[in-house]
């Protein structure tokens, strides 16, 4: 059985660094932690790829 909430579009979770957290529920805080953890993984992967690319270029031009 569908509820009225199922018809509403789900709001996009976003977080601004340094924003006031006092009005957020535990569920909202947990969602934001998950969002930020996912973003950290994405940033680390991008840094790893860029580092590998830079290292390959350094290796090529040092020969």
Residue 6 within a domain = no
Quote the distance between the C-alpha of residue 5 and its chain's center. 26
The tens digit of pLDDT for each residue in 43-60 reads: 999 999 999 999 998 888
CB 15 within 8 A of CB 31: no
pLDDT score of 2 more than 70: no
The tens digit of pLDDT for each residue in 17-49 reads: 999 999 999 999 999 999 999 999 999 999 999
Joined tokens for residue 4: 């009225």
Q: Into how many domains does the chain fold? A: 1
Quote the distance between the C-alpha of residue 20 and its chain's center. 19
Residue 5 within a domain = no
Residue 54 three-state SS: helix
Residue 1 within a domain = no
Residue 55 within a domain = yes
Cα torsion for 1, 35, 12, 50, to the nearest 10°?
-130
Q: Domain range spanning residue 31?
A: 24-63
């Amino acid at each position: 059985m569908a509820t009225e909430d199922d018809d509403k579009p789900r709001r996009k979770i976003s977080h601004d660094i340094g924003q006031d957290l006092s009005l957020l529920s535990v569920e909202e805080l947990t969602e934001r932690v998950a969002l930020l953890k996912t973003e950290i993984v994405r940033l680390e992967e991008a840094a790893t790829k860029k580092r590998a690319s830079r290292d390959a270029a350094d290796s090529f031009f040092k020969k």
